[in-house]
C-alpha cells in the first residue's frame, strides 16, 4: 500500500468540519453525481489515504474498493454502519467515530419521544392549533409516563444514559444485550421476545449494521403488543419497518416515537396520518453544543492520524 495523507471528503459535512479539512488539509470532495464520481475515482482514487465522512454516507464496500491506498476512515457521528468495517479490518484501514459527546442529546431525544408519545403532546398541540379545543372540548386522555416497565435494547453508552433519565420517572428498567453489562442493577433479559412481552415501552438503542438488521422483527413487535410503545433512536435498519408500519396501521401497537427510518429521508407515508406516532428527521444529536463537540472530535481524529497514524477514538 502506498502511503499518502491526501484527504477525501465523502458526502456533505457541517461547515465546522468541512471548512478546516479543506483549508488546512486540502481535502477534495468526492463528486455526488454517479458518472462524475466514477470518472473521478478511476483517475484519482489511488491518491487518497484518508476519507472523512459522516454516519449517513460512510465509505461503503464499492467505494472502499476504489480507494486502494486508503488508510483511515474518519467518521463524523457515532454510527458507522454505512462503512464497510469488515473490509477495513481485512485491509488494516483504521476507522474512527465520535462517541460519548452525543450521549446526552440522543438520550434526551429518546426521553422526549417517550413523553410525547405516551402523553400525546404533539397530538394535543395540533388539537389546539386546529381550534378543536374550542369546538370539540377537552382533549382525550393520554397514558401515564411515570412508573412504566421499560425495556432497553442495547445498553451501551447511550442506552445507559437513557436508563438513568428514566430512573427519575420511577420506571422499572430491564435490557437486552448480546451479554450482560457489568456494573448495572437493571434486569438482564437474554430473550428479546421476553423483554418485549414484559415491557410497556421498548426503547431501541442498539448499534446499527448487519448484525442488528431487522432485530426488532414482527415477532418482537407482536410480543410488545397492542398496549405497548416502541421508541427508536438507533438506526432505521434495526427495526423491520414493514412489520412496524403494519402493526401501527392495524392497531396492534399503542404508538411509536421514531427518529430514524430505513430509507432516510423517506418516511413511510402510512405513518404520517397516525396521531399515535411521532416522527422526527433524525435529529438525535442535533444541538449546537453536541454538533460542535462532534466536529472537534472528528478534527482531532484526523489530525492525530496524520500526525502519528493513530486515532483518538478508534472503532474496535
SS (H, E, C) the chain: CCCCCEEEECCCCCHHHHHHHHHCCCCEECCCCHHHHHHHHHHHHHHEEEEEEECCCCCCHHHHHCCCCCCEEEEECCCCCCCCHHHHHHHCCEEECCCCCCHHHHHHHHHHHHHHHHHCHHHHHHHHHCCHHHHHCCCCCCCCCCCCEEEEECCCHHHHHHHHHHHCCCCEEEEECCCCCCCCCCEECCCHHHHHHCCCEEEECCCCCHHHCCCECHHHHHHHCCCCEEEECCCHHHECHHHHHHHHHCCCCCEEEECCCCECCECCHHHCCCCCEEECCCCCCCCHHHHHHHHHHHHHHHHHHHHHCCCCCECC
Contact 111, 162 (CB under 8 A): yes
Residue 211 has pLDDT above 90, yes or no: no
Q: What confidence tens digit (pLDDT) does each residue in 114-156 have?
A: 999 999 999 999 999 999 999 999 999 999 999 999 999 999 9
Question: Which pLDDT does position 262 carry in this prediction?
Answer: 95
Please give the tally of structural domains in the chain. 2
The span from the CA of 180 to the CA of 190, in Å, is 8
Structural domain boundaries, residue 229: 103-279
C-alpha cell at 75: 467518521
Q: Is residue 108 part of a domain?
A: yes
236 and 144 in a single domain? The answer is yes
Q: Is residue 262 part of a domain?
A: yes
Mean pLDDT, the chain, integer:
96
Neighbours of 62 (CB within 10 A): 9
CATH number for position 43: 3.40.50.720
Q: Is residue 162 part of a domain?
A: yes
96 and 107 in a single domain? The answer is no
Q: Is 61 exposed, middle or buried (0-12, 13-18, 19+ CB in 10 A)?
A: exposed
Residue 15 has pLDDT above 90, yes or no: yes
Tell me whether the omega of the peptide bond preceding residue 291 falls within 30 degrees of 0, making it cis. Answer: no
Active site residue 235: yes
149 and 203 in a single domain? The answer is yes
24 and 115 in a single domain? The answer is no
Q: Is residue 314 part of a domain?
A: no
208 and 110 in a single domain? The answer is yes
Q: How confident is the model at residue 314 (pLDDT cuts 50, 70, 90)?
A: very high
Query: Which of 36, 167, 219, 264 is the catalytic position?
Result: 264
Q: Is residue 316 part of a domain?
A: no
Query: Which of 189, 235, 241, 291 is the catalytic position?
Result: 235
164 and 262 in a single domain? The answer is yes
Residue 268 has pLDDT above 90, yes or no: yes
Active site residue 264: yes
Residue 2 has pLDDT above 80, yes or no: no
95 and 123 in a single domain? The answer is no
87 and 118 in a single domain? The answer is no
Contact 196, 169 (CB under 8 A): no
The span from the CA of 201 to the CA of 147, in Å, is 11
Question: Which pLDDT does position 1 carry in this prediction?
Answer: 63
Q: What confidence tens digit (pLDDT) does each residue in 25-68 have?
A: 999 999 999 999 999 999 999 999 999 999 889 999 999 999 99
Q: What confidence tens digit (pLDDT) does each residue in 77-100 have?
A: 988 989 999 999 999 999 999 999
117 and 162 in a single domain? The answer is yes
Q: Is residue 285 part of a domain?
A: no
Q: What confidence tens digit (pLDDT) does each residue in 274-312 have?
A: 999 999 999 999 999 999 999 999 999 999 999 999 999
Average pLDDT of the residues in 208-222: 94
Average pLDDT of the residues in 237-266: 97
274 and 134 in a single domain? The answer is yes
Q: Is residue 50 part of a domain?
A: yes
Query: Which of 282, 288, 291, 316 is the catalytic position?
Result: 282
Q: What confidence tens digit (pLDDT) does each residue in 236-248 have?
A: 999 999 999 999 9
Q: Is residue 284 part of a domain?
A: no
- CA atoms 4, 6, 11, 15: torsion sign: positive
The span from the CA of 131 to the CA of 304, in Å, is 57
163 and 83 in a single domain? The answer is no
Question: Which pLDDT does position 3 carry in this prediction?
Answer: 80
Say which residues have a Cβ less than 8 Å from residue 265's Cβ, sequence separation at least 6.
Answer: 281, 282
Active site residue 47: no
96 and 111 in a single domain? The answer is no
Amino acid at each position: 500500500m502506498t502511503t499518502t495523507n491526501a484527504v477525501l471528503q465523502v458526502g456533505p459535512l457541517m461547515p465546522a468540519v468541512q471548512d478546516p479539512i479543506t483549508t488546512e488539509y486540502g481535502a477534495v470532495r468526492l463528486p455526488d453525481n454517479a458518472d462524475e464520481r466514477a470518472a473521478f475515482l478511476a483517475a484519482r482514487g489511488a491518491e487518497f489515504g484518508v476519507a472523512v465522512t459522516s454516519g449517513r454516507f460512510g465509505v461503503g464496500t464499492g467505494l472502499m474498493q476504489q480507494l486502494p491506498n486508503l488508510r483511515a476512515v474518519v467518521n463524523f457521528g457515532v454510527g458507522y454502519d454505512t462503512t464497510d468495517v469488515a473490509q477495513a479490518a481485512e485491509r488494516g484501514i483504521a476507522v474512527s467515530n465520535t462517541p460519548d459527546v452525543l450521549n446526552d442529546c440522543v438520550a434526551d431525544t429518546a426521553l422526549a419521544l417517550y413523553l410525547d408519545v405516551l402523553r400525546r403532546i404533539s397530538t394535543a398541540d395540533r388539537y389546539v392549533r386546529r381550534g378543536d379545543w374550542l369546538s370539540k372540548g377537552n382533549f382525550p386522555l393520554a397514558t401515564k409516563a411515570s412508573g412504566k416497565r421499560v425495556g432497553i435494547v442495547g445498553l451501551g453508552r447511550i442506552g445507559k444514559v437513557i436508563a438513568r433519565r428514566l430512573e427519575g420517572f420511577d420506571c422499572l428498567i430491564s435490557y437486552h444485550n448480546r451479554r450482560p453489562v457489568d456494573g448495572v442493577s437493571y434486569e438482564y433479559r437474554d430473550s428479546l421476545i421476553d423483554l418485549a412481552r414484559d415491557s410497556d415501552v421498548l426503547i431501541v438503542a442498539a448499534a446499527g449494521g448487519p448484525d442488528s438488521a431487522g432485530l426488532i422483527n414482527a415477532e418482537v413487535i407482536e410480543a410488545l403488543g397492542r398496549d405497548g410503545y416502541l421508541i427508536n433512536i438507533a438506526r432505521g435498519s434495526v427495526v423491520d419497518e414493514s412489520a412496524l408500519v403494519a402493526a401501527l396501521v392495524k392497531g396492534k401497537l399503542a404508538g411509536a416515537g421514531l427518529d430514524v427510518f430505513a430509507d432516510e429521508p423517506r418516511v413511510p407515508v402510512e405513518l404520517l396520518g397516525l396521531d399515535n406516532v411521532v416522527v422526527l428527521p433524525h435529529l438525535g444529536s442535533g444541538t449546537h453544543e453536541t454538533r460542535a463537540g462532534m466536529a472537534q472530535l472528528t478534527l482531532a481524529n484526523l489530525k492525530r492520524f496524520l500526525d502519528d497514524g493513530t486515532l483518538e477514538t478508534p472503532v474496535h
